[in-house]
Each structure stands twice: as structure tokens, then as C-alpha cells.
Structure 1
Amino acid sequence: MIDWKTINEEGLLAPTMAKDFPNLPVVKSDGYFYIGADGRKYLDFTSGIATENTGHRHPKVIAAIKDQVDHLVHGPIGIINYESIIQLAKKLKALLPEPLDCFFFGNSGAEAIEGAVKLARHVTKRQYVISFLGGFHGRTMGALSLTTSKSKYRRHLPVGANMTYQLPYAQITETPRGLDHDEYWSEHVEKNFERLFNHQVAPDEVAAVILEPVLGEGGYVIPPRAWLQKIREICDRHGILLIFDEVQTGFGRTGDWFAANRFGVTPDIMAIAKGIASGLPLSATVSSKELMEQWTVGSHSTTFGGNPVACAAACATIDVMQDEGLIENARRMGDYALSRLLELKGKHPSIGQVRGIGLMLGIEIIHPFTGKPNGEGLMNILEKCLEKGVIFYLSGNQGEVIRMMPPLTIDQEHLDTGISMLHEALTEYERELEPLKAEQTI
């Protein structure tokens, strides 16, 4: 029997991950819930950080995994071939916008990003890549050169030297009053690119522009459609490939199969992972066959990528999402949850902006006296939520945004339960601040 109280003291697990919030000992998961070692059920509004979009241990996904294990556990693809990977490629092709129809399967989101950047550089014969401030693309060395959600991720690591450039990500609150929304954002991003091209790197040396169509780790920031459309236009103008990092936004999270569909902008290359296989490690770098055919044979490979069991789980995941109408449910429940959270904002001075698209919801926590981002307060609130039996997660540059990402199977009853617990936690937190408020007014 494991002594959960002392497990971290033993030093068996690297503390860079082992002590992340909430570090909750869990013995089982089921549907919307984790079952803790303490016997309690915890409503999970993290979905394994947006991976188990079909909920924990969906019976049809589990059945597909068990059936595949009885036949074939490991590839590797290229040495052998197998049905589940071919079936998955066909299913994905039917879901993705044209002309994204060719797949390199890996294990993680960072791998998909590495593949996307390698492909772009190989095809264009250019070396530089432009990413956006606040973006998170992974922590392998190549992906880390593009990641700017937090400076601590890059500390002591000389990543991206002379290889990457960053531009500001769109922030809706920046739009000046009285200006046309679309016109402003089109001109805004055009000027940012123009400044970069004039002063730092020529456009004909840029292989790719990479971005998250909705910021994940960076705080669930939703950009204007016109901003994304203008970036597509700029890339086309200069022969630059556009990469969408849909690791977190893919597979229904934003209320469509992919955020590209919601914004009406199709990238040249897409990186997908997380929700693809209901919790099993799987990812893909996706592009047109025309681009993939320019990637020299053997210049990129994998041992475990596209594992037969993970591919079988992914096929079952897609079937479940289609059969149970989870895309539609994500939109409907996402709209409902956003309306409830906006009601909370009106009741709690600790809530700043509330942002949401589908079941990708961000709640900014601010100090009620200063209005400044309040990461310390957020952790206090998350701990109170955990005590009540619901798990949220954090995001944002200063850890100031509550990340709410329930499974796409969620119903209104359980949304109400979790949001009510958040309301109670916020009320308790703000009550604790009341004595300090009196001091502020003296």
C-alpha cells in the first residue's frame, strides 16, 4: 500500500511535475469523476488537460482498446502496417478541412509541433519561424523555442537562438472604441508583421508562422476572426506556411471538430493531439499530400508514434463523438456555461474577464482592490474548489486564469454543480479579504 502522505518526500518522481496542482492521489476515474484515494468523488473540469473529451473511461473506447490489445499492441509503423492506423487516417481526412489529408503520427503535442516545423523548413528551404507571445507549443527544445506563455519554461535553456521571432497575440480589450472591429485587427496585425519584416527578418527567409487559434496555457484568449484571416493573407502573400497548433483546441473543444473550422481559416500544416484518443498518447502532424511528399524519406521517423492501441482508441473516440453528438453538446453546454460564468462575474469583484468558446472557458482572477492579475488568489480559490469536490486548473502568464475544460459529454446538471462550487469558493475567498478591505480604506 502506498503512503500518499509521504510519496513526494521519497523523491521518486521529479518535482517539476509531481507537485503540480492538485497532486491528488487517485485510484479510479469514471465519466465526469475522479475517485480519490480518500474515497471521495471529484467532479473533473480538466478532462486530463483537455484529453479525455469523451469523459473518463468511455465504455466504447475501453472496448476498442481491449479488442486491439487482443490482436496487436505495437507496430512500429514503417516496419509493419496495420488496420487501426489506416482507419484513423481515413476518419481524420473526412473531418479536416481540405486539403489537409496526409498524416505523420507521433505520441505527443510537442512531437506534432516538432514535425510541423521540420516539415515547413524542409519544404520552404527557409529557417526562421514566427510565433506569438503567450503561445504554448511544448517543452522539447524545438517547440520551446516557440513557446512564450511563461519565461520560466525557457530559463537556462538557450532555445531558438537566431531561429524564431515573436509577435503580440491579439487581445480583444486592446480594440479602441469607435473603430471597426475587423478593420482594426486587420490593420493591427498587418503593421506588426510589417515592422518585423522591415527591422528583423525578411519575409522570404521565414518558413512558417505558427499559432494557437485560441491560446491555451496563455490564458484561453480568443482572437478576432479578422486577425486570423489577415495572418492567412500575409502568409499567402509571402509564400510562408501557416501552422495551426490545435493540440488543445482540436476534437470538439471549441464547439467544432477543429478551431480552424470555427474561424474559417485553413492552415497549411496542423498539429493535433490531446483529445484525439481519449487519454492515450497519440498525435499527428497534418498537411496536404503535396507538402508531405516533399519531406525526404527517412528525415523524420518514430518508434512508438501511431501505436495500434492508441489508433484504435482514436477511431472509437471519433465514433463516440459523432454518435453521441458531442460537437453540438460542446457548443450548447459551452454557451450555457459561459452565461453562468458571466452571472458570477456580476457577483464577484475577484473575477475580471470571462472568455469562452465551446467548452474552452477561462475565468480571469483579479485582486478585488487593485484589479491586477491575482495568481495567489487563484490558487486559494482552486484549493477551496478541491475541498468542495471539483477540480479546475490554471493558466495565464501569471497563473491568473482558471481553466475550465469539462468533458464534451457534460450535462447541465453537472455544469451547475461545478459552477455552484466555484461560486461558493469565490464567496469564501472574498469574505476572507473583508478585513483587508477595511485597512485599504483607512
Structure 2
Amino acid sequence: MNKSIYEVIKEDEEYLMQSFKRWYPFVISHGKGAIVYDIEGKEYIDFNAGIGVLALGHGNEKIISAVNEQMRKFFHYSLTDFYYELAVEVAKRLTSFMPYSAKVFYTNSGTESVEAAIKIARGHTGRQWIIGFINSFHGRTLGSLSFTSSKAIQRKSFSPLLPSTYLIPYPDKRNPLCSDNCTETLISFIEDWIFKKIVDPSEVAAFIAEPIQGEGGVIVPPSDFFYKLNNLLKKYGILLIMDEVQTGIGRTGKMFAFEHFNVTPDIVCLAKAIGGGIPLGAVVGRKEIMDLPPGSHANTFGGNPLALAASKVVLEEVPKLLDHVSSTGKKIIEELKDTKSPYLYDVRGMGLLIGAELRKDNKPFYEGLEKVLYNSFKRGVLAIGAGESTIRIEPPLIIDEDLALKGTKIIKEEIEKL
């Protein structure tokens, strides 16, 4: 006998630690493409894609076939102790997208990729300090949490975090430091205050940043910021780590979001979409930087062969979708910008990572966000929030344009009803 939605939710509350937030009572049964179904058979447009994981959508036949074929060979073998060809094949494909000779370290998740990048930066440079940005999200394990600050609850009760870390403002137009020339103001702030008052640049191993802050509210920086930041970092031999866990693998209409900003990071953190729905992460960096000595870093499941089989398909298929992602994203943004509501403060994003921020009396309108998300869910659209009051639209990259606009119009109507 099938359980009801509310029976599943009640048992979830009884048996699972409730350390995460659900936006509405959706219990998935199955999905296909950009459509999902709940356990009572109702159909929904997926504007979440498992927080950007399902780039090729639900039930992709090529991924299913590749994983099934690999399952017949072997499920797992320790890449840290032995070799298998698939790990090299995927690494060769992944590094082919980079603008320099690169190497790969496989992980299981985004937070683990960030942890590995921290160790790589410190190990390579021999320096300890790493600087990040306020309002970022890099994960919730203690190392990555030291740079996560999109909500205070994420850090509450978990101190002390990593020493020799520091967070500075992100180039966000809502930031008081960005009232004039945001880029120049922040670059001067780093060089004239951080490097002269807080830490000498000779002690700084790296800066870590999201090219677009996802969980923080889909915040897109000025187009010249990372280019000028990287020029400053090169002056002092400091590495630039880009956390592309959410923005990478085609999400913004390019394989990596850093390509939009005329910058080449030294280390890139990946996860989410790279495994096509199977847990996989990776750190990709310049060959000369990826030099931790044997025994200094490893894991059991990183580079799991089933996840790599799925990843091989993802890395073959996503480049074919980039133009579609860009054009569909632009039409979604155009549709949302036409919303007639005093509460729609801003629409921003790139490709199919889009945020529509709601504000009331010039303050975050969280109640409005909850209402729009819940009512859109009732009408068959699954979106979630980001930042304090931003609707996050992040469908599978394969979503049909008409379906994407159908879902967008429902969200638009719900904003207008506020």
C-alpha cells in the first residue's frame, strides 16, 4: 500500500535529523526530462534540478545506459590505491575545457572539493592565510564553513573554525562599499587595508570565490572585478580558487562561469552537475599547482566508477547545450523583468541560474518569497529560494524553451498577486 505525502513527511520528521529546510510538501516519485511527479501522480515543472545537479534532466537514457554498463564491470575500486582507465578518460575530457595544462583530483561533493582546494593551495604555496567573501556558500564541513556566510545560522555554534582566514565584502550593488565604482573600491580596500592592516600578502595562499554567488541570492559581480582582482593576486603570488560547484558544467551558458569574466583561476572546484545525479566532485588546477605529495590527501569514494561513467556522458552532452542554455535563460529573464509588481526588486543571473529578488519597504521580503514558492508549487512549478528573499530558477539544462516559459509565467503571476 502506497503511503500518503503527509505520512512520508511525518516519518521523515521522526527518523531524519531536521537540519535542513524544505520549502513545501513535495514528495518525489519519479521524473523524466524537466518534469517530475509526486507520489500521488501530480506533475510538476522542475525549476530546481536537485539544486543544479541534474543538468541532463531526470531519467537520461545515455546516463542510465553508461552506468548500467559500468555496473556489470565493477561498482567500486579504490582509486587511491589502484588504477582504472575511466578515471583517466574523464580527467582528460575535463581538463580539455581548461585554458591551461591541468590535473584533476576527484571528490564526492562540493564541500569536499573546497576542502581539497584549501589543502592544495596551502600545500603548494607554503602559506596559511586564505581570504573569502561575505555572503558566499562553499559548504558546511568545518573547512569550507570557514568561508560560508550566506546566513548566520550556517555558522552558529560551530566555532572555532579554521584559523588564518578572513572574509571581505563581495562586489554586490547592495553593499554600501559599492555605491560608486565597486570594483576599484574593493580592489583598493584589499590592497590598502587588508594587505597593510590585517595580513601581509606574502602570507596569503589564496582567495576563494564563487564567480556568481548562488545560495547568497544569485549575485552577479561587475564584469571587470575578477579580472582586476586576479591581476592584484598575481602581483603577490596569491592563487585564485573559483568555486564552480553550482555555476560550472554549463549552468551559465558556458562550461565554467569564470569564462564570462575574462579571468583564469588557478584552481576550480566542481561537483553537482558533473556527476549527472550521482555524487561526484572534482578539483581541477594548473599542473604545477596540483603537487601535494603522496599520502597527503586522499579519499575512499572519490572517482567512483559509476559516477565517472555518468560524468563521461555529461561532459559529452553539455557542450552541445550551451547556446540553448544562454537563449532560454535570456527569455526567462525578459519575461520576469516584465512583471508588474512593486515587490520585484531585481532580476539577475546568467544562463539557467536566475534570481528574482523580492523586497518590501526596501527590506528583504521573506514572507513574499515563501508565498510565491508555495503557490507556484500548488500550480505545478518547483522552485526554491536563495539569499534572504530571492526566487532561484535553476532547471535542467535540457528544458524545452516553451516549458521554461510556462513555468516562468506561473511564477510571474504569483509575484503579481502579492
- Residues 85 and 312 in structure 1, CA contact (< 8 A), matched pair in contact too: no
Aligned partners of 1:335 and 1:358 also within 8 Å: yes
1:380 corresponds to which of 371, 374, 389: 371
Once residues 107 and 178 of structure 2 are traced to their aligned partners in structure 1, the CA distance between those partners, rounded to angstroms, is 45
**Which letter maps to 2:408?**
I
CA 1:21–1:178 in 2, change beyond 3 Å: closer, same or farther? closer
In structure 1, what is the Cα distance between the partners aligned to 2:362 and 2:179?
25
Distance in 1 between the 2:160 and 2:271 partners?
23
8 A Cα contact 1:44 1:392, kept in partner = yes
Question: Which amino acid in 2 is paired with 1:5?
Answer: Y
8 Å Cα contact 2:28-2:37 kept in structure 1: yes
Q: CA deviation at 1:410?
A: 1.7
Q: CA 1:271 to 1:23, structure 2 compared with 1: closer, same or farther past 3 Å? A: farther
| Cα offset, 1:3, TM superposition | 4.5
Structure 2 counterpart of 1:438: none
State the TM-score, normalizing by the size of structure 2: 0.95
Q: Does the alignment pair 1:412 with 2:401?
A: yes
- Tell me, yes or no, if structure 1 residue 328 matches structure 2 residue 329: no
**Helix, strand or coil for the counterpart of 2:148?**
coil
8 Å Cα contact 1:130-1:166 kept in structure 2: yes
Q: Which runs of 4+ in 1 moved over 3 A?
A: 1-4, 6-10, 172-179
Contact conserved, 2:142 with 2:162, CA < 8 A, in 1?
Answer: no
For 2:85, the aligned partner's letter is: E
Whether the 8 Å CA contact 2:212–2:220 is kept in 1: the answer is: yes
> Counterpart of 2:288?
290
Counterpart CA distance in 2 for 1:388 and 1:49 is 20
Helix, strand or coil for the counterpart of 2:332? helix
Q: Secondary structure at the residue paired with 1:292?
A: coil
Equivalent in 90, 94, 97 of residue 96 of structure 2:
94
Distance change >3 Å, CA 130–CA 23, structure 1 → 2? farther
User: How far off is 1:358 after superposition?
Assistant: 1.0
Give deviations 1:247-275, integer Å, cap 9, x for gaps: 00100111100012121201111101111
In 2, Cα distance between the equivalents of 1:47 and 1:193? Answer: 40
**Within the alignment, does 1:301 sit opposite 2:298 as a pair?**
yes
Cα distance change, pair 161–102 in 1 and its aligned pair in 2 (3 A): closer
Between the two proteins, the alignment pairs up a number of residues equal to 415
Partner SS for 2:364: coil
Equivalent residue for 2:28? 26
Per-residue CA deviation, residues 326-366 of structure 1 (Å, 9 max, x unaligned), is 1111111111111111111xx11121111021111000011
> Which of the residues 35, 38, 62 maps onto 2:37?
35
Q: Is the 8 A contact 2:326 2:352 kept in 1?
A: yes
CA distance in 2, matches of 1:193, 1:66: 53
Measured in 2, the distance between the counterparts of 1:58 and 1:193 equals 48
Aligned with 1:337: secondary structure? helix
- Equivalent residue runs for 1:224-243 within 5 Å: 224-243=222-241
Q: Residue 18 of structure 2 corresponds to which residue in structure 1? A: 15
Tell me which residue corresponds to 1:111. Answer: 112
1:2 CA displacement: 3.6
Q: How does 1:18-417 map onto structure 2 within 5 Å?
A: 19-99=21-101, 101-160=102-161, 162-172=163-173, 185-293=183-291, 295-322=292-319, 325-344=320-339, 347-367=340-360, 370-396=361-387, 398=388, 400-417=389-406
1:309–1:6 CA distance, 2 compared to 1 (3 A): same
The alpha-carbon deviation at position 64 of structure 1 amounts to 0.8
CA distance in 1, matches of 2:177, 2:75: 56
Unpaired segments ≥5 residues, structure 2:
none
1:408 CA displacement:
1.1
Structure 2 counterpart of 1:315, one-letter code: K
Instruction: Return the alpha-carbon distance in structure 1 between the equivalents of residues 175 and 110 of structure 2.
Output: 30
Q: Which runs of 5+ in 1 are unaligned?
A: 431-442
Contact in 2 for aligned 1:170/1:223 (Cα 8 Å): yes
Contact 2:336-2:412 at 8 Å conserved across structures: no
Which whole-Å CA distance do the structure 2 matches of 1:372 and 1:41 have between them? 34
Q: Does the aligned pair in 2 maintain the 1:186–1:226 contact within 8 Å?
A: no
Once superposed, what is the RMSD of the aligned Cα atoms?
1.8
In structure 1, what is the Cα distance between the partners aligned to 2:233 and 2:403?
43
Residue of structure 2 equivalent to 1:434:
none
Q: Cα deviation per residue 1:140-177 (whole Å; 9 max; x = unaligned)?
A: 00000111111111111114353210110001356999
**Partners in 1 of 2:178 and 2:70 — Cα distance?**
57
**Letter paired with 2:298:** S
